[in-house]
Structures are given as structure tokens and as C-alpha cells.
Chain A
């Protein structure tokens, strides 16, 4: 039975339970809603909740545990002799699973009869041919032990799912029955539902947090693997980035410094563009613009934030790069060799960050109490004096926070760098030279065809970890500053 049907059945039981619970509550109060502890719908929801939650809980648990159990049982069946030279148990198990799914699909399509699929004495060569005819992916000729294992795997899974379906439906019915008998006028159904809502919200929050933890852990373990293959001091203090492309090279030099320098330099240029423009735009919008101008200009500015970064990348590659090359290239000042350069990527990234800085700063400037401005105007200050000496100092912590958040965006940006700054890792002070960043190198290290266990691929995780630590530090620092000074003027 497909899982979807099972879910629908449980939901149907819950729906019936809702109606029955509601009715029973009304009956127990002899139709007078005021005699009930809670509104009738709460009694219904109580029954529905106690139907759904245990049943689905059991189902999820079963779906997690069953593959582990079946895998371990089937692995035991495969003797050491069945494992070919150079292959591992994992590869054989992958073969077993593939065959099992192939059989499933072939049976479902009617190309192999169910009895044959289950027949332990079926001919291996015939079976391989039938599977190939059925269009199922079979990498090589199936061996006898693999076919046996695949058949057992199928049967165990099928039995498991059948038992699960029965168990889940029984749990749902039991939950519905128990809660239906609980339903009396004085039963506190409202409090139970309240608890349920609370747990639901808690679960949502925990999933978000657990995912973060999972991401960090996967980074940490892979980074650890990398440092077993490549010395950490060479990684952190090496000034050359030259991965070998021969696959299992070993002659790679994987120093992070040129990449960090590129990241820092491009982000710096981006912030030099974004901070003044964004801040001045925010000041204009919040202090000078009439409500009508503001109503049009603010959304327009924020459209910039909605443009995908790859489009900015194209803009850098096709427009800004050639433009800068015309000005600073060999035809002009002669400083620039190609369109891809720190300046190109930095300028475009700066444009990308403008709405980020301006929108946050605008909110912060608006949060400065009008009383501050009145006080300053009342002393005979002009508008720009008021902004410079009263509004901006009051808003400064928030603005610094906004800039730091923009900086961590700049550090994490990839596509603009890939298209605008080139791919050469280089330590140079010339902003018209091509450089690259940590993020761009993570992409190029993982999209190649290097062996995943090689330091050339694993270095991506070390780079990711470094980047994560840097941006996390920046974000925490930004939040700390914003919080520390937030209430100073209230």
C-alpha cells in the first residue's frame, strides 16, 4: 500500500474522530455549550490530534528504522566470497538495492510475473536479460548471491510495509477511541490542544536549529578529513593556491591566503561603493523625500535586491567589465589587462548591496524618535546639521550593524565573482587584476571530476568552514553592536 494512501486513511480517521468527539462532547453536556469546559471544536480537535500524532509518529519511526534493519539482515546474507576484488560491501549492497528496485518496477509494469520475481531458483542470466528488456538499469550481469539478496530485500521490505500499514491504522484507531472515551463535559480539551500547538511550534523551531547543527557538523567532519590529508599550517598560512588537476596529485599547494585576500579586497571595494550610496539614499528617503517620492522610490530601490545575483554577474561580465577595460585598459590608462578584475566584481557587488544597506539604514533612521529632531530644530539647527549631529549618531549602532551584515553578504557572494573577477588566485594590490574568492574556489573544487576523497576536493569543506566562521563572527559582532546600543536613546 503506498504511503500516500496510509496518510489519507489516518487523516480520514482523524476527521471522523473530530466529528464524533465534538458530538459526544455536546451530548455529554446535553446540548448546552456553556456546560462544557471548552468549545465543542476543541473536543473534536483533541480526538483528531490524538489520532494523528501517535500514528504519524509511529510511521516516521518505522520508515527510519526499517531500511536500517533490512540492510543489516541482507548484508549478513552476502558472504565474503560474493564480494569481488576491489569492491566493497557498500558497492555490492548498492547493486542489491538496484536489482531489487528493478524487480519492483518490472513487476509493477507487468513485464515480470510476481512468482518469478520471488522464485529463489530463478535463472540469473535469464533474469538479467528480462530486467534489461524491461528497461531497468542493470550495470553488469547479476550474480547468484546478489539476485538472492535482492529477492530477500524485496520480500522483507514488502512485509515490513504491510505490517507498518496495519500498525499505523491500529494506532490511529486506538488513539481515536481512547480520546473519544475521555471526552466528557469537564475534560479540559482546550488545554490539551494548547499543548499540541505549543509542541508543533517547538518542533518547527527545533528543525531549523537542528538543520544548522547538521550543516556545521558535516562541515566539521569533512574539514577534519581534509586536515588528515593536508597539513593545517600549509592551508592557513600558504601563500600559493595551485591545486593539481591530475586527480590524485599530491603536489597541490592549497594555501588559503590568496583566496582570503581576494575575498577581502573584492568585499572592500563592494562596501566602498555600497555604504556611501546606500546610506545617502537612506538619508534622502527617510529625511528629505516627500511621502509621494518615498512611496515610489523605496520599492524601486528594493527591486535591486530582488535581482538574482547571476544577473548581476552577467551585468559585470558584459557591461561593467568592457566599460572599465575601455577606461583603464590598454586603450586608456593601461592598468587593466582583461575585463575580469577585482574592480569589476567589486563595483557590481556594491550595486547589489545598495538596497541592503539603504533599506536597513532607512528603518534604523526612521526609528530615531521625532523628539530628537524637534529638539535640534528647536535650537535653530538646519536639517543637515540635525542629521549629521543628532540623527546619525543616534542611528550609528544600527547602521554599523547594517554595514556588517552587508559585509557578510559580500563575503559569501559567489556568482558575481565567478563572472566578474576571474578565477586566478593571486596576491596583488592592483584592483584591476583578476583575483578570486573563497566561494568561487569552493565551486570550482567541487564541480571538477577530482576524487571526492582527495585533498583537492575536501579542501572545499575547509574553505567553507573558514568562510562560515568568518561570516558567523561578523554576524554575531553586528548583532552584539545593534543590541548593545539599541536602547540608548529611549
Chain B
């Protein structure tokens, strides 16, 4: 409970985008997330760090109800997006996911053209009235994904033909195209080389001006580089949550210190 008081002290409540309170997640009989409470601010990059299997990806997937696709998964507690419970019966998970976009660990472009990949979301949500508007959305999204210059001459080429880093930026552009309010990223750079990683990190920093970004990462350097807030998960518990600089230089909990200095995890 020490962390809780500290969190309340440092976060300005009027900017809170997602407020998770006492979240429990069960996979069958396994208690994967234990009593996690986090407040994610708007226009901020929040990093989730922790050793493998600590529940950080599971928690991330709760934020846009991607866990609904897993039969044995059960979520308890409240997760509020702009003050509304996303697990409320009246909330349509499909609408929610349009607002809370997601980028996955492995680049997963659809086996379609680059254009159709980006146009996918706008098309299913009816965001464009005509072809010209759709073209505009695609170009804007690809520019925000920092990949427009590389692909503008071959929008009809298959998205699967791009390099790994380009594919991941295409996936980010695809997620941005539906105009989400929050962007969840599940280890977006783990399949990329250092150059592509640098490009994606730069992109994340730019995205911060418009969206609230939550990123799960194994790399503590990456968390330190891109995030303003960091949450440290261990064995399903949220151990510590606070300003990134403070977590990495002056952690409160001994477990956090052990992890960032490489003694556990």
C-alpha cells in the first residue's frame, strides 16, 4: 500500500486517461494478475517492465479487452477509460478496441497491399466518406508511422514484403489510422534490429503528442529512453509505479532495485 499513496501523490488526477482499480486476472485456476491498480495519464508514455511471465502483457491486453478472445481468461476489478468502466455490459468491446488500439510484439501486417493494410480500420469503422478521404487518411497515418517516404511509390505492394522494421511501423500506422485515444504496444521492438528499434522509439516519442501510449518492454534502457512513467511488475503484482527517472535512479522497493540492477528477472 506504500506505492499507492505515492502514486496518488505524484499523478495529477485531471489528466488521467485509464484508471485501473484492484484488477485481478485468472487463467483458469492460475491467478495471473493480483490486485493491480494503475493510473495512466493522457499524452504520456507509460512503460510496463518486469521479468517474463510477470503479467505485464496480460495486464496490457486487459486494457482493450483482447483477453476476451481467450476462453479461460477471467478479469475482475474496475478499469475505467475516461471514467467509464470498459468491462461494463453496455460497452461493446469492438468499439472499445477502435478507441484503444494495439500494436503487437511480432509485426503482423495482413496479407494485403500496404494501402489496404492501413485502410482496413477506417473502412470497417466507416471513417472515410469517399476514396479521396480514405487516401488522405492512409497518407496521414503512414506519415505518422514515419514510413510514408519509404512506401509512397509502392502502396499496392504487399505489406508482408517489407522489412521487419518497416512492417512494424506499418502496423503502427495501421493502428493510428483508426484515430485511437490510447495506443497499447506489446514489446513492439523485440523482433527488430537496433536501427529499426531506434526508428520505432523515435516514432513513439512523436506519438506522445496526440495519444496516451502504453508500452510493454523487456529492455530497461528502452523504458528509460521512451517513457515518462514506469510500472514494475513482478509475479503478477505491481511492485512500483512512478516517474521513470525516479524508478531507475531511486527505486523505493528493494525488488525494483534488484531487477533494474540485474539481480533478479
Contact = CB atoms under 8 A, between A and B. Distances in A.
B178 interface: yes
Interface in A463-490: 488-489
Interface stretch (A16-24, A236-244, A366-374, A448-456): A366-374
Interface string B216-249: 0000000000000000000000000000000000
Interface residues of A, number: 22
B46 interface: no
Interface string A388-405: 011001100000000000
Nearest to A379: B121
The 5 A-B residue pairs whose C-beta atoms are closest, nearest first, are A380-B98, A378-B102, A371-B108, A380-B97, A379-B121
A272 to B, nearest CB: 27
A385 interface: yes
Interface of B: 64, 66, 69, 71, 94-99, 101-104, 106, 108-112, 120-121, 124-125, 158, 160, 171, 174-175, 178
Residue among B94, B97, B101, B110 with most chain A CB within 10 A: B110
A378 B69 contact: no
A249 interface: no
A394 B110 contact: yes
What secondary structure prevails in chain A residues at the interface with B?
A: helix
Nearest to B69: A377
Contacts of A377: 66, 69, 97
A381 B122 CA distance: 10
A161 B94 CA distance: 82
A389 B95 contact: no
Nearest to A489: B111
Contacts of B99: 380
B212 to A, nearest CB: 16
Contact of B175 (A378, A389, A393): A378
A251 interface: no
A372 B108 contact: yes
Given A372-B110, A488-B158, A488-B160, A378 B64 contact: yes
Given A374-B104, A382-B94, 6 more contacts: A369-B108, A377-B66, A378-B66, A378-B104, A379-B121, A389-B124
A387 to B, nearest CB: 12
Contact of B111 (A290, A374, A381, A393): A393
A371 B111 contact: no
Nearest to A378: B102
A376 B110 contact: yes
